[in-house]
Amino acid sequence: MRKYALSHFSFDNFKEMILQGDNSKDAQIRADKEGYIYLSQKFVGNQSLNDIKFRLPTLSGDLVGSLCADSNHMKSIYDLIIRNKDNTGYIDPEID
């Protein structure tokens, strides 16, 4: 899975990252301690967190891959990432 520099992470990068996902598997957006963000489908939830700076809730179904069509929801998640890019731990979204 491709990693993106969090310091230059654009909405277009975010859409590309989400569309690369396989909607038949769970996925999780993670940022590592080296400053990169990526969509993990190998590890989700509380698995393999040693080098993880922060993570969002596990995504499934129509929230990743080619079925992800709700651009308003995608924008909300992207904005959440940008607001929290300097934080650590589990990022709990309050998305409408």
Of 27, 33, 12, the closest CA to residue 64 belongs to: 27
Q: Is the pTM of this model over 0.85?
A: yes
Residue 70 pLDDT: 63
| Containing structural domain, residue 50 | 3-90
The pLDDT value given to residue 62 = 67
Q: What is the pLDDT of residues 36-65, one digit of tens each?
A: 999 999 999 888 999 999 999 988 766 777
Q: How many domains does the chain fold into?
A: 1
The answer to the question of residue 95 being in a domain is no
**Burial of 59 (C-beta count, 10 Å sphere; 0-12/13-18/19+):** buried
Residue 96 lies in a domain: no
